[in-house]
Amino acid sequence: MRMLLERRTAVFESAVRAHLEDLFRYAYWLCRNRWRAEDLVQETLARAWRGWAGLREPRVVKSWLFTILYHEFARDAARPGNQREGEAPANEPYAGDDPALRLDMAKALDQISPESRDALLLQVLGGFSCGEIARILGSSEGAVMTRLSRARQGLRRALEPGEVDREAREG
């Protein structure tokens, strides 16, 4: 029994370990809070561990984990006091070279709708296709494509207003 458990633990760890950084960053950008993001990832892993025996296709582990995390976040956000809007600003340490860039990007992300933002984050952080994003968010592929388009237009409008105006003028 103990050997079986150790074996199962080892297989689970090796399958999920590679995705945890992406998972954490996705959680962080969903909730903009490092501690809550850690909790979300931990709860996601706990659920994944419990459902591990039922996972029929190990190759979809990554999208499975993101799906669990997204639903966990949605459940968490539905509780009183955990609404998505009005999150604390992203005052976290930054790994890149340009801290201003991240602040600008955080503000720009705030200006697009949560639905579009969720889809964009899944594509950029998770590297998922439109079909995979649709399955994670429980939406249609067409709706995801629309959300992604709107998200990128929204980002450009927020970050490069002059450029968008110029393009609009030029048709």
Partner 1 sequence: MSCLEFRRAVLVDPRRLDPELRAHAGRCAACGELLASTLELEDRLAESLQVPFPAGFVDRVLRNAIQQSLGGRRWLAVAASLVLAIALAAALAWPRNDPLARAGIDFVLYEEAQAILDAKPADRAVLERVASGLGVALPGQLGEIRYVGTCPFAGAIAHHVVVKTPLGKATLLLMPERPLASRVVASANGFEAAIVPARGGSVAIVSPSQRALVRVEAILGVS
Pick 80 or 169: Cβ nearer partner 1: 169
114 is a contact residue toward partner 1 (CB under 8 A) = no
Region of 57-65, 67-75, 81-89, 116-124 interacting with partner 1 (CB under 8 A): 116-124
* Site map (CB under 8 A) of partner 1, residues 43-82, x = contact: xxxx-xxx--------------------------------
Q: How far is the CB of 54 from partner 1 (least distance, A)?
A: 14
> What DSSP assignment string belongs to the chain?
-HHHHHHHHHHHHHHHGGGHHHHHHHHHHHHS-HHHHHHHHHHHHHHHHHHGGG---GGGHHHHHHHHHHHHHHHHHHSTT--STTPPP--S---SS-HHHHHHHHHHHHTS-HHHHHHHHHHHHH---HHHHHHHHT--HHHHHHHHHHHHHHHHHHH-HHHHHHHHHH-
Residues lying near partner 1 in the complex (CB under 8 A)? 9, 12-13, 16-17, 20-21, 24-25, 28-29, 34, 38, 41-46, 48-50, 90, 92-96, 98, 101-102, 104-106, 120-121, 123-125, 129-130, 145, 148-149, 152-153, 155-156, 159-160, 163, 167, 170
